[in-house]
Structure 1
């Protein structure tokens, strides 16, 4: 039995007899509400536009002009009329993904978090020249989280490629 269990887990599936049905759905739900370290759900940083569209998880919102990034939404988390949920760069692919309400980093930071919570989750947090906090993503040296705060609380959280070319 142990050999079978090891083989099944090594294949990335949880198929043990008698496992509660919620074990798989809880894991899937967690992936759907977690931003980082490599993306959100099926959408991954660095994916080309073609790859991102093939996931079925994104919808074009604003086409990019020559050499610029296109604005997209995550189908499951529409961002509203004047916003986008992510940017896809012609050069870099998925370059920036924004957190929606209820979405958190693996360390538990999301919209509404405080600077104290950010510093506790990310002791290495720095402040950009613009005045906004940012930190390298644990487990992904090619990405960062940026936080915009108002009245002491995060109102915008983004996961971005260090090389993204869509926003300042």
Structure 2
């Protein structure tokens, strides 16, 4: 298990990677919103009212308005996942893009493998996973569909 200093360094590196990516996209004329999750919670299909297994990124309230503004009417047809597994932690950066409108949402968070339970297996079997952006009060701001769930879970296979 990594020590807290290693975890801090990995989290810092993940945030720096997100900042650089956001700056690069903005410099290229893209609209970018970064969601730095205070917490990432796995959502098994039985716990989601719509049966959409995924990861809930618990966002700060100030991201709500810019997030909803950029996703409104967008078609987020592309995503890339940049994960680093360190011990039982997964440091995650996901870029979800509407390439036609040059809009990107960067989802940044940390997951603990022990909290995932059966989510990786279920999502891989179903061939789908969702990234949900929620506020602390449970308000869902939006969701993104992913057809290759194994990208989110290093070491899991399809």
Tell me the TM-score normalised to structure 2 length.
0.26
Larger Rg: 1
For CA contacts below 8 A with separation 6 or more, give which structure has more relative contact order.
2
Tell me the TM-score normalised to structure 1 length.
0.25
**Which has a greater percent of helix?**
2
